[in-house]
């Protein structure tokens, strides 16, 4: 009896201590339920929400079902869809006007909690930070992407593109398909290491480089954590999920970055002390800028690490996906491929000279092809935001506590905006077509204040590499276009890779 009295007192004490938190939680949840009911969307069950509608264990089916759901609500004229990812309230944006108001908002700039899995990897760098820290970082880092700096990187794009051509040369005219994606990814990694950090890791010749594999796995594990809410409980993450493997690959990636930063910081200090070293120092725009900021006391070693890891991840995974999908699309549309080849020949003829910035400006049709592949297969399939304070967006009331997800993958296939949205057509980016539709109908690099700071860098790299490819080769595909399923991880992937047959061009000797 005495024991029961103690237990009762203990429970009452706990309740009194936490009652306010419990009361506030229940009040806030009821408020969210009230406003979520006003958004059009499928029926939601307790606990599982709307997850019953999609196959979260087969990501390719999950994508197809999500796209079908979005197109259904597009046809109904909806701008948003109310969804529940288990207990998590989500508002998916499928209308460009809603996307515009959200992405241009100075109130809704905090990334959604789904990005929390990235904090151990990317810290609070430019991708994940918010508020004053994000604004300050954006302002400090913008000079690293000035067009004069980017133009200096063309020599790197040219050199690595030529290494790429040599890598795939043994497969040309063999009659056998080769998955080009690993080759493109190693190319992109060599480019970003050289341009952002001034480091040559030669991944194109070192196919077993651990950094590439670790980044790939971190991306997969992070998306698994986002898609399956129960894994956010640490015991389940480590007992039934890939928690231990995530930590192992995280250490590989961050140790690599820390080693490079340490070496470059030592070089930087010599540069400021020894005038002889100063004359030999090569240009490293991005890391140089960060080291200058550290020298001025504006950043510390951890700040630099999180920004470098952010750009290493975003700067090679996104461009490699974009280039791979472009080659896949052109292989299945030989008439468009021939137009690219004609444009490239018109610029370079039969020469093997390097690209110039003026050459890139002339690649109008190739740019259309790249933009169309990004419309259908945006490298970043979704952007998430957390509503921290009640806000009205395009006439709709978004309550505090909901997540907003802007999905280029769905937005850019809106059948009310694009005719035959699942069909590849570069003419979607003719001047007339662009001028006739909403500016936020196509946002592969996001838009507004949090748009991608490296989008010009990405387009320069992709134009240079793809133009070099078609100066030497053509590609064909034996597998049907739709056979390659979309896997919307942190970066959009393909289920098959990019299995293509490479042919030497015999008409350009």
Per the annotation, binding residues for heme are 452
For 399, the 3-state DSSP assignment is coil
Q: Contact at 8 Å (CB) between 379 and 492?
A: yes
Residues 6+ apart with CB under 8 A from 458: 315, 318, 319, 322, 445, 452
Residue 235 CA to residue 238 CA, distance in Å, equals 5
b/e sequence 119-155, b meaning 16+ C-beta within 10 Å: eebbbbbbbbbeeeebeebeebbeebbeeebbeebbe
Q: Contact at 8 Å (CB) between 408 and 118?
A: no
Cα 108 to Cα 39, 81, 84, 100, 402: the distances in Å are 19, 18, 20, 12, 11
Nearest 5°: the CA angle 78, 81, 84 is 165
Q: In this structure, how many other beta carbons lie within 10 angstroms of the beta carbon of residue 204?
A: 21
- The order of strands in the sheet holding 88-93 is 80-85, 88-93, 403-406, 383-386
Residues 6+ apart with CB under 8 A from 101: 393, 394
Dihedral angle of Cα 284, 287, 293, 298, to the nearest 10 degrees: 170
Q: Which residues are annotated as a binding site?
A: 452
Residue 348 CA to residue 330 CA, distance in Å, equals 20
Nearest 5°: the CA angle 314, 320, 324 is 150
HSE-CB of 415 using CA atoms within 13 angstroms? 14
């Amino acid at each position: 009896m005495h024991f029961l009295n103690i237990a009762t007192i203990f429970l009452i004490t706990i309740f009194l201590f936490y009652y306010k938190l419990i009361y506030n939680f229940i009040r806030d949840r009821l408020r969210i339920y009230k406003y979520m009911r006003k958004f059009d969307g499928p029926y939601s069950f307790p606990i599982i929400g709307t997850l019953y509608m999609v196959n979260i264990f087969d990501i390719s089916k999950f994508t197809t079902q999500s796209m079908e759901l979005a197109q259904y609500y597009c046809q109904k004229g909806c701008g948003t869809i109310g969804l529940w990812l288990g207990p998590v309230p989500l508002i998916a944006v499928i209308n460009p006007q809603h996307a515009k108001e959200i992405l241009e908002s100075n109130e809704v700039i905090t990334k959604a909690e789904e990005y929390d899995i990235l904090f151990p990897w990317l810290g609070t760098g430019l991708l994940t930070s918010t508020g004053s820290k994000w604004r300050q970082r954006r302002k400090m880092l913008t000079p690293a992407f000035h067009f004069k700096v980017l133009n200096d990187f063309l020599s790197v794009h040219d050199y690595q593109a030529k290494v790429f051509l040599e890598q795939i040369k043994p497969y040309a005219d063999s009659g056998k398909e080769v998955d080009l994606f690993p080759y493109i990814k190693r190319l992109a990694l060599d480019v970003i290491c050289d341009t952002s950090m001034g480091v040559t890791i030669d991944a194109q010749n070192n196919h077993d480089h651990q950094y590439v594999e670790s980044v790939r796995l971190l991306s997969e594990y992070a998306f698994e954590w986002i898609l399956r809410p129960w894994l956010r409980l640490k015991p389940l993450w480590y007992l039934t999920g890939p928690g231990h493997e995530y930590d192992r690959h995280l250490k590989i990636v961050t140790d690599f970055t820390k080693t490079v930063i340490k070496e470059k910081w030592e070089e930087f200090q010599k540069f400021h002390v020894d005038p002889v070293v100063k004359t030999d120092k090569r240009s490293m725009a991005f890391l140089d800028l960060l080291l200058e900021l550290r020298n001025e006391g504006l950043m510390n070693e951890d700040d630099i690490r999180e920004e470098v890891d952010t750009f290493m991840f975003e700067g090679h995974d996104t461009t490699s996906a974009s280039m791979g999908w472009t080659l896949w699309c052109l292989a299945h549309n030989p008439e468009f491929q021939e137009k690219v080849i004609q444009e490239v020949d018109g610029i370079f003829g039969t020469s093997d000279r390097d690209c110039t910035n003026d050459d890139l400006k002339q690649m109008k049709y190739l740019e259309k092809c790249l933009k169309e592949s990004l419309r259908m297969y945006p490298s970043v399939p979704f952007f998430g935001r957390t509503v921290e304070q009640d806000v009205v967006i395009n006439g709709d009331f978004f309550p505090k506590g909901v997540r907003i997800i802007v999905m280029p993958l769905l937005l850019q296939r809106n059948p009310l905006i694009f005719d035959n949205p699942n069909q590849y057509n570069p003419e979607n980016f003719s001047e007339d077509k662009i001028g006739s539709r909403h500016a936020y109908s196509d946002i592969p690099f996001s838009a507004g204040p949090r748009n991608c700071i490296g989008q010009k860098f990405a387009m320069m790299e992709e134009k240079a590499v793809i133009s070099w490819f078609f100066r030497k080769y053509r590609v064909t595909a034996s597998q049907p276009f739709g056979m390659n399923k979309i896997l919307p991880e942190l970066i959009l992937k393909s289920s098959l890779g990019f299995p293509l047959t490479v042919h030497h061009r015999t008409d350009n000797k």
